[in-house]
Each structure stands twice: as structure tokens, then as C-alpha cells.
Structure 1
Amino acid sequence: MGTTLHTLKPPAGARHKMKRVGRGVGSGKGKTSGRGMKGQMARRQPTRPGFEGGQNPIHRRVPKRGFVNNFRVEYQAVNLCLIDGKFAADEEITVESLRAKGLVPKKTKLIKLLGMGEISSAVKIKCHRASDTAKSKVEAAGGSVEVLEAEAPAAAATA
């Protein structure tokens, strides 16, 4: 008889038996069930994270400074040295092709092309932003840079 899913069992001693607490003096955990004598920990669950016993907690004591823009647009920086040699000449480079080769994270939506390094092949790059240095280097190699229109964030589109 072979091993099947419904006959699988852990090896002996691999799983500890659960000790049921709060079931009387003779249960093996005693009268207070391992919670000690009196006090907050004997009476209830531990406090919520950040609670300091009624003292003004640190997240309220520390002043908040500055401004957080919920509509900020973040671009993934891609340098020419990252692209060089990874794509064939006359190949079109898009966000999807960069994602497919593992050059940018999977969640990347917007790309900014930067000019660090050199590019040897004439490639056509489609990105959402490009620095002047990057544009001039790509065009000097015989390629082209097309700047795409960035999609508006969902919150900004409804406002």
C-alpha cells in the first residue's frame, strides 16, 4: 500500500499535545492557569500595540512635520547601462519588455530613462520620462526615445 494524502501523518514526537488551560486546579496548570497572581496580564489579553499604560504614547508625543502628497507620481529609474547589451538592435523597449527580462520590478508602471552609462545599439525606447542626457546618447547611437503619456491615478481621475 503506497502513501496517499489521506494516510499522511507526522512522525511520532513531531507535534506537541496542546495543554488546555483554565480547566480547574487538577488540570496540570493550577488555579491561575499559568498567568501568575493579580494584575493586568492575569485579567485580560495583552494591550494593543502602542499602548503605554495611559501615558501619552510616543506616536502622539512626537510632532508631525511636513506634508505627504497622496497624489505623488513615482517613476522607476532605468539607466542606459542597464539596457545596453540586453536588447537587439532596432528592438522596441517598453515597460513590458523590461519587466519580461527582469530589469524592473513587476509592479512598475512608470519608467524614467536616465543617462548613466553608454548604449551601443540603435534601439527604440518607449518611456514616460527621459533625461536630456539619455535622449542625446540614444539618438547618437542611432536609436530613438518616445515619451509616453502617463496615466492619471484613479483618485485624481475621479476628483
Structure 2
Amino acid sequence: MSYISLSNLKKKIEKGENFTLTVEPKVYNEKCGVAINFLDKPPQSSDEESNILFHFNPRPPNKIILNSHWQGEWQKEVVLEDDDVQEKLFGRPFELTIKVLSHDEKKGSEFLVFVNKTFQTTFACPADITHTEYIGFSPALRISADVKDF
């Protein structure tokens, strides 16, 4: 995994605001796809300390896996099926957007997930997604806060 801090992107996740990443896939493993992870702690933190608040894992040819890794355990996986995953998410840049509906220290977060401005699902996470400090991403990806960076 490669990592970038939200402060380097000059972005933060806030309730009611769209948070968008532009993602450019370079190469990928057809079986596992690629992953983008929203982390609450620096990547050097021990496994017991770090949490993946949101795991976005498109897998060709037709699945997107969503999940969270919270307090050392993977949560319930959400599988989205879409026949156009390979065409939409591999071989050209795409936009991943989340919009936080609610967040709470104890109750977690609920947010909308969009790909290329198309609504995919509402995702519930056991933690406060607004505490994201870092984005982790597969080495086969380039991440930007703006499509002009490509």
C-alpha cells in the first residue's frame, strides 16, 4: 500500500460535503482488484491501533467490495454487483465520492458512496469517518484531489 495524508491533499471529510478522490488505475490483479482505504491513524501504527474506516475494493469484472476493519476485525462485507465495473473503474481515471449523512464517536457513520457521480449505496461504518487522516491505496493506483493532476 501507498499512503497520502488528507492534509497533503488539502482536504478533509465533513458532514454534508462531498469528499471526492480522482483515481487512476495503472495495473491491477484481476482476482483481487485494487483497494482504497480510509485510515484513522498513520500507516506506521500497529495493527491493534489502526482502523480501516472505509475499504473500497473494485474487483473486475463486476464487483465492488465495501467494508471496514474495526478494532482488529473485518466487519460485514457489502458486495455491489455491476456489469460495467471493469469498463468504469479500470483503464481510465474515475471519481470516488462519499457524502457523510451522520457521524458520531459511539454510533459510527453513515455515508453515501458515488462512483463517477453515480450513486452506488449508503454505507454504515462502525467509526466516525470524519476522523480519516490518511488514504491508503494499491500501488497500481494514482490518487489525486483533482482530475487536472493527471
Q: Give TM-score scaled by structure 1 length.
A: 0.21
Larger of the two Rg values belongs to structure: 1
More helix per residue: 1
Higher RCO structure, 1 or 2 (CA under 8 Å, sep 6+): 2
